[in-house]
Amino acid sequence: MKHIDLNADLGEGCGDDLAIIPLLSSANISCGTHAGTEEDILAALLACKQHQVCVGAHPSYPDRANFGRLPLNLDPAALTQSLQQQLKYFKELAERAGVRMSYIKPHGALYNKAAVDHDLAGLIVDLIKTQHPDVAVLTLPDSALSELGKAAGIAVFHEAFADRAYTAIGQLVPRSQTGAVLDHQAALTQSLRLISTGTVISIDQQEISFQADSLCVHGDSPEALQLVHELSAALQQAGVSIRPFIGSAE
């Protein structure tokens, strides 16, 4: 039977986390610098424990004003310090909740830039390799972070976004561009095509190869819960089981 991980970005204080989490197999939970309070983060962690959902840290540029979606011009030392603090804080909260930080998925602009910027990807890989060597990375396929993570011996897994459009080179279409965020039907169609054929149709109608271990839904969308419900049902109807990418290798 085919299988896929289903994840969402949570702990941000703006979604229906407690209703979404039981439908997921993995959850990327805020480290507090782009959104969410400690109460939001802990609630999400505790719900993941209750429903046996795999937990990942979702660090970002320290920029709550822009939800971490704009790149910051931080020098490497300052960014490293911020990420160290975020992951330490997150790991402490995870331990309080009784769950393990199994992977790291950068958020927003940090995620997008680390996909193409080898210097930034190297900074993140070095931090993980030296301080969290038993933790995996979740990122885009064929990205700088994937390439350098694998070269460093880190477990790397790849994701696709159910609700985002792609460029012809497999990068996310910027949110500022019309059509960057897909409606429900388009998200379902893209997800099922990806699983059945290993391809997606780019925003300019080109077919591109795209292998993914996980599907992501953005938890901050007001329609996220409905989309997760629909996607979960569609996957099961198509004979695809939902299970975490951590520990699912065959």
pLDDT at 15: 83
pLDDT tens for 213-249 read 999 998 777 788 999 999 999 998 989 999 999 975 4
Task: Report whether pLDDT(52) > 50.
Answer: yes
> Which token pair is 99?
């769950």
Q: What string of H, E and C letters represents the secondary structure of the chain?
A: CCEEEEEEEECCCCCCHHHHHHHCCEEEEECCCCCCCHHHHHHHHHHHHHHCCEEEEECCCCCHHHCCCCCCCCCHHHHHHHHHHHHHHHHHHHHHHCCCEEEECCCHHHHHHHCCCHHHHHHHHHHHHHHCCCCEEEECCCCHHHHHHHHCCCCEEEEEECCECECCCCCECCCCCCCCECCHHHHHHHHHHHHHHCEEECCCCCEEECCCCEEEECCCCCCHHHHHHHHHHHHHHCCCEECCCCCCCC
Determine, yes or no, domain membership for 134. yes
CATH number of the structural domain spanning residue 199? 3.20.20.370
Determine, yes or no, domain membership for 59. yes
> Which token pair is 172?
């996310």
231: containing domain: 3-242
- Give the C-alpha separation, 17 to 51, whole Å: 12
Average pLDDT over residues 133-149: 97
Determine, yes or no, domain membership for 249. no
Q: CA nearest 143: which of 127, 163, 166, 164?
A: 166
The pLDDT mean for the chain works out to 94
Q: How far is CA 28 from CA 61, 76, 150, 187, 246, in A?
A: 15, 24, 21, 19, 13
Higher pLDDT: 58 or 250? It is: 58
Residue 30 phi, psi dihedral angles, 5° rounding? -50, 145
Packing angle between helix 38-51 and helix 76-97, nearest 10 degrees? 50
pLDDT tens for 9-40 read 999 999 899 999 999 999 999 999 999 999 99
Split at pLDDT 50, 70, 90, the class of 154 is: very high
What proportion of the chain, given as a percentage, has pLDDT over 90?
86
Q: What's the structural domain count of the chain? A: 1
Residue 86 phi, psi dihedral angles, 5° rounding? -60, -45
Average pLDDT over residues 146-172: 95
Q: Supply the pTM of this predicted model.
A: 0.94
Handedness of CA 189, 210, 139, 66 (dihedral sign): negative
pLDDT tens for 164-198 read 999 998 888 988 899 999 988 999 999 999 999 99
- Give the C-alpha separation, 123 to 61, whole Å: 13
Task: Report whether pLDDT(250) > 70.
Answer: no
Determine, yes or no, domain membership for 250. no
